[in-house]
Chain A
């Protein structure tokens, strides 16, 4: 079913529940921008949306190559969805390399829109095709629309007075306009964004006008060219009433951190070193100086972590974010935070490793590093966010726990949820619980009848007091050497060391009493319990639903608290014949569950730098169900 711009029929409307669409092209083709704009328009319209941006590590990878392809997948729906979709119904390919890399993921019968002009013999060859795929019949299973995007964009901008290069860069807007037409979407949001970005921020109003013109040209082309027999509509989703905005994970983390600081009525200190995919948190926070946010870009990851020690000692809410390799560098200073028992939050936006690995690809392989990756007995609290909006909630809880238990907290997210975006219901600030912080002003103890400040005199949560420099009479010195219980003086005493190691462990274990009960997606007994954590939530949740719909006795739970593990987890695990742990690593949570609960957990493990497909989970669980 290959139609050319000339074929003609009258388009009618067809309603769809959800559509997954992927934009792809060279990393300079503006696919991330087009995808983001399509997302914005869809969320503003009222769809449920899940996105999956996927781009190469190189800023401008070699043109036309398959490894230089940048993609942006978005699923938008009129009902609840939790993943960007296993396959796509629509592929927008700006060049042969994009087509080559992505065509496999298009459903049979799906729509493939290509920029015909990019399919030159040279580009076709560079992408690894022997023959032009638009001509050799290999796309017979798809509805292919060959649009001369380069030529049409050029023609539509002939009067813009802009140079050829600038015009070439507006191709993505032409294509986006066409897709807007196909899904009956308004151009309003994107016109506003183009005007704001190019016109106001970059002070290039003519570039803004040109892009708007290309966008409109694409839309009108859809209207007049009659490429498609129908237009599609995905109606609004039923969402909880409220005010919404679109949010990406890193942005939600930044907002959560600022909110937590405001709830605690304390300044936020953010010390960090740029690293993919965590840098957007730094970028976001650096624009909030009017909230009293101090962002300091340190000389390296180690300095960033050390700056938290100082800032926390002096009374700020101290936070940093990094990714795996940076986490490795921060390790020693995190240990110092643990022994000094100072509150701080370390966000690890995980990426595929080891070492530099695949910097822009997602993975969940830093769990054991977060829980155990330090020298000696160095426990701390570890939380993980399950989706973009959940980063907000998890960031607040991380700060709350850090302050209450006077401890470093590691918050795990990953590249997938950090860059992925979805609609977010804006909370009412009045609904957010304040975070209590107390700083002593009086000496809290007596030694030999003399009042003293005892920095390691613990409260009922086993947390120590947080006296701030500047407070008269409470001068004290603490550091990396083992301290005497209560007094905090340096101590090499054997029994005291045992006591302090145990006390630090007991304190972290006790934090589990603060965690809300585990939510079950399904019944509390059955054949299979799926246990997940972090950014795999959408795929696991959807897979479990699908398996239940097909009549299987399957339940899923998704852990936010990974150290300590939440109370009652052991009982839940024992209610199922099989415990299955899907993870984007080689079985790290599975190892923890086995060690903690002696449960013979089975892993579903994938390390391809990509999220799970729902179908691969469903298929694997069915296999497991059938094995006995």
Chain B
């Protein structure tokens, strides 16, 4: 009896052998390791993966994976990935981008890939700074931030990535941190859920740039604070957090969200996470440290037809209606006449 043997991989099988050139201590290393682990855990042969990136520190990512890959141009990875996706529906397309690449120069492509529900994973490494160009503020940098290009402080209002993509109609929105030295590291679970999602899966990953913006997310990743500043969201579970698991999110009498002590309210007053609730998801994306804990995990998920499902459906429909086109048909359609 023959059986189809599924590949069994170790994370190391996904290493390309190229020297990894990120700065020592960069958060990208942890993300690369987590991605390799997730890829190795799936029943997908590695030749099916195409990693596409733009420009920036994070965009070097495809070089370090032994899959197919395109290191594209600044901001355009979603558009390039759109071409890959439409050409071959059997591939698994992952986009690696950063806060500058994906939200500044590439914001437009991000918006449209998402609204089309293009079947691809988009991992946005948010380090709230421009690393590769050596330290200018980015679209996610906090206001008043002093950087090389803003000696008096940035006057820009930052963009909120998860809120933005929800507004674009994203069908999967999640957030994680590169490392977690305090609470649960949700990155593996989030990456796996993204990998299995059909449609655009957007994952924001808080990433430490330890050269130009070190400690930007330490509030969310360090032992002392992680449990107090983040909440691990799980479908069907209340939003409980805190060093002693004693805090939760509830809606007060005025309809506003507030942080409560679990002992002060009855369990049925606690808000419970519902992945399929878009309004709730938007509310979650607006919860910012220090007023609120920041949600980590799968914030929103729904199932919708993907762009290429619809694209192929139209092609098949046309073939059914007109039959497979031939050159004879093509040339002689419309009015023709014969010269003897």
Contacts and interface: CB of A to CB of B under 8 A. Distances in A.
Contacts of A267: 87
Given A302-B76, A477-B71, 10 more contacts: A243-B332, A245-B337, A258-B330, A292-B315, A294-B311, A298-B82, A298-B112, A313-B50, A332-B73, A477-B51
A318 B108 CA distance: 22
19 contacts: A290-B322, A292-B319, A299-B112, A307-B82, A308-B83, A310-B85, A312-B83, A315-B87, A333-B76, A335-B73, A336-B72, A426-B336, A427-B331, A469-B49, A475-B46, A477-B62, A477-B71, A480-B71, A480-B73
Interface stretch (A17-25, A234-242, A608-616): A234-242
A474 B70 contact: no
A269 B87 contact: yes
Given A429-B327, A477-B62, A477-B69, A471 B47 contact: yes
Contacts of B317: 289
A244 B241 CA distance: 76
Interface residues of B, number: 64
A246 interface: yes
B18 interface: yes
A290 B84 contact: no
Contacts of B322: 290
B313 to A, nearest CB: 10
Given A302-B76, A469-B91, A479-B71, A310 B84 contact: yes
B42 to A, nearest CB: 16
A192 B79 CA distance: 43
A36 B330 CA distance: 21
B82 A290 contact: no
Contact of A290 (B68, B325, B339): B325
A302 B79 CA distance: 8
Of A258, A262, A271, A469, chain B has the most CB atoms within 10 Å of the CB of A469
A313 B338 contact: no
Interface in A138-158: none
Contact of A246 (B66, B67, B71, B335): B335
B52 A310 contact: yes
Interface string A592-626: 00000000000000000000000000000000000
> At the interface, is chain A mostly helix, strand, loop or mixed?
mixed
B70 A46 contact: no
Contacts of B81: 310
Interface residues of A, number: 71
Nearest to B65: A477
A370 B69 CA distance: 28
The 4 A-B pairs with the shortest beta carbon distances in the complex, nearest first, are A479-B71, A310-B83, A477-B69, A289-B318
Interface of B: 16, 18, 45-53, 55, 62-63, 65-73, 76, 79-88, 90-91, 108-109, 111-112, 311, 314-315, 317-319, 321-328, 330-332, 334-340
B85 A243 contact: no
Contacts, number: 217
Interface string A364-387: 000000000000000000000000
B88 A478 contact: no
Contact of B323 (A290, A309, A314, A469): A290
A472 B111 CA distance: 33
B109 A299 contact: yes
Contact of A245 (B63, B311, B334): B334
Interface of A: 40, 43-44, 46, 189, 192, 239-246, 255, 258-259, 262, 267, 269, 271, 288-292, 294, 296, 298-300, 302-304, 306-316, 318, 332-333, 335-336, 340, 426-427, 429, 432, 468-481, 489-490
Contacts of B62: 477, 479
Contacts of A478: 69-71
Contact of B87 (A306, A310, A340, A480): A310
Contact of A243 (B49, B52, B337): B337
A314 B132 CA distance: 29
| Residue picked from A242, A244, A246, A480, most chain B C-beta under 10 Å | A480
B84 A303 contact: no
A314 B311 CA distance: 17
A474 B81 CA distance: 19
Contacts of A340: 70
